[in-house]
Amino acid sequence: MNRSLTSGFLSLVSAKLATSLITIVSLPLIIRVLGAGDYGDYAFLISTFSLLMILISSGVTEGVQKFAAEERDDPQWQAHVIGFYLKLALVLAVGGAVILALITAEGTLPALYGADFTLYFYLLAAFVIAAQFRSFSRRTMMAFGWERYSEPLRIFGKLVWVGLGLALALQGLGVTAFLLSNIVAASLVAIGGFVLIFRRTSIRAVVSKRPTSFPTRKLLSFNALNIVLVLLLMSLFHVDVIMVRTLLSDQATGFYKGALALAEYIWFVPLSLQTLLLHSTSNDWIEDRTGRLTDLSTRITRYVLLFTGLLAIGLFVLAGRVLPLYFGGPFAAAEVALLFLLPGSIGFALARPLYAINQSSGRLTPLIAATGVAAIMNGLLNVVLIPQYGIAGAAAATSIGYGSMFVLHVGCARWLGYNPLVDIRFTRCLATIGVTLPILWLIDQSIDGDLIALLVVPPIGALLFTALALFTGAIDRQEIRDIVGSLPQPIARPIQRFLPGA
């Protein structure tokens, strides 16, 4: 990656790491304060909300991120794009909130899930508006290349959500506490983001009339297709949770969501890359630089395979210790679900950067077809397996759906004109993972104490994995030096001293 990409990536991955650490520390507290049942209800509400926000937000926020980042001859291009999407965001957010409130007042949703859900869904209606403008401001700052501002705001919002939510929950507000804290945190982040945005782009330019040459139809077409695409994508995350809550119980949903949360921790680097690549590769498509896309995507795919493979090995080996220690004894019931989720989670980690590069092309039809196949497969398997096998069935179904995304989006990439597998070195990577796993499992089996195992196994695994990756040629010494050299000097300098040949 070049220096500008590296800078944006470091901002994004640092923020993702920080928010993941906040989640790691706070999630056991949240579960213990709410209990498995209320946590299951909260997970169900957020999954429902996330699916709703696809219709309201995905076309708007990803559209402004892509198109405002493009370099055009019109000096007011960015302002016109921001103005177009800001008006659309307002209409969709208010309309979505009103519709949700009307459905709640009609009484069907509370009748299905309980009287408490009347208040919950009214709060979600308010959250729609706050979340819309939080996402809009963040994506606009990314289009400016302002990850150094957008990501600290994201961390701030996460801290407000956790801190305020726990404080209110300890006062007995339960699920309501975390819905309220979501609204407050999102509103504060949105306000901070818009203050920064309007320091660069004048409000007058944003609200001014767009020229007749402005490609309104192209942007609306992208929005409509992107909503379909993101709806299919997000169904992979939320359909299983909703079906577990509907077909099983709130407690089973809590256990399953706990397993999902751990499996998704391995995504913090791929998620950062996905967010970065949507706007940073748009100009490569405009200028038909498919060779650069091939080089960039193949290196990223191999690095992601190695990194997430290492994390998945650690979770696989330590699952039986981590779940009860982290979430509480009853969550040992989620171990099998976690083990089933991990292989598919690696596949989805590999698919995420490719998804963003493919999406930035603006040619969304093949992406919709590929993601649709994965979503349909995921939904059908959940319908079949959950009634028979419970949360283990949900995990198996979701893992297959996750894993298929990589295969399908490699096909999309080839169709669009670049090849992300040119230098993936799959056999060497697989050998590195395959040798590390049994050795690390044997080491774990020889240790009695859970805390001791959690302190000893990860560093041994990291050193062993790195040595094997170099030995097999899954990664070169020069590549490691290049990666370290792209880091800020205060971080890179001490690491470089220990590199071979330094």
Q: Checking phi first, is residue 475 left (phi over 0); if not, alpha (psi -120 to 50) or beta? A: beta
Helical residues (DSSP H) of 417-496, grouped into ranges: 426-445, 450-472, 477-485, 489-496
Structural domain contains residue 408: no
Q: Could you read off the pLDDT tens digit of each residue along the chain, which spans 502 residues?
A: 444 555 556 666 677 778 878 887 888 888 888 887 788 888 888 878 887 888 888 778 878 887 777 766 666 788 888 888 888 899 999 999 999 899 888 877 767 777 778 888 899 999 999 999 999 999 888 888 888 888 889 899 999 999 999 999 998 888 899 999 999 999 999 999 999 988 887 777 777 777 777 888 888 887 788 788 877 887 787 788 888 888 887 778 878 888 888 888 888 778 777 777 777 777 778 778 888 889 888 988 998 999 999 999 999 998 888 888 877 778 888 888 999 999 999 999 999 889 888 888 878 888 889 999 999 999 899 999 999 888 899 999 999 999 999 999 999 999 988 899 888 888 999 999 999 999 999 999 998 888 888 889 999 998 999 889 989 988 887 777 666 555 555 444 555 555 555 4
Is 384 within 8 Å of 397 (Cβ atoms)?
yes
* pLDDT score for 4: 53
Exposed, middle or buried by CB within 10 Å (0-12, 13-18, 19+), for 310? buried
Q: How far apart are CA 384 and CA 358, in angstroms?
A: 31
The number of beta carbons lying within 10 Å of the beta carbon of residue 48 is 20
Give me the helices (H) in 328-364, please.
335-360
Structure tokens at 276: 């970065």
pLDDT score at 502: 45
Residue 171 within a domain: yes
Residue 183 domain-assigned (yes or no): yes
307 alpha-carbon distance from chain centroid: 16
Contacts of 484 (CB under 8 A, 6+ apart): 492, 495, 496, 499
Produce one character per residue of 125-151: b if its CB has 16 or more CB atoms within 10 Å, e if not. bbbbbbbbbbbbbbbbbbbbbbbebbb
Cβ-based neighbours of 168, under 8 Å, separated by 6 or more: 176, 177, 178, 180, 181
Distances in whole angstroms, Cα of residue 211 to Cα of each of 71, 74, 77, 214: 17, 10, 10, 6
The domain of 116 spans 1-214
Q: Which amino acid is at 348?
A: F
Cβ–Cβ contacts within 10 Å for residue 71, how many? 10
CB 418 within 8 A of CB 293: yes
Look at residue 422 and tell me if it is in a domain.
Answer: no
Residue 452 lies in a domain: no
Element spanning 24, H or E:
helix 3-53
Is 254 among the domain residues? no
The amino acid sitting at 471 is F
User: Closest Cα partner for 143 from 284, 272, 8, 10?
Assistant: 8
In contact, 69 and 143? CB cutoff 8 Å:
yes
For the chain, report the end-to-end CA distance as a whole number of angstroms.
21
Contact predicate 371/364, CB 8 Å = no
Number of domains in the chain: 1
Structural domain contains residue 339: no
Question: Does the residue 59 lie in any domain?
Answer: yes
pLDDT at residue number 3: 44
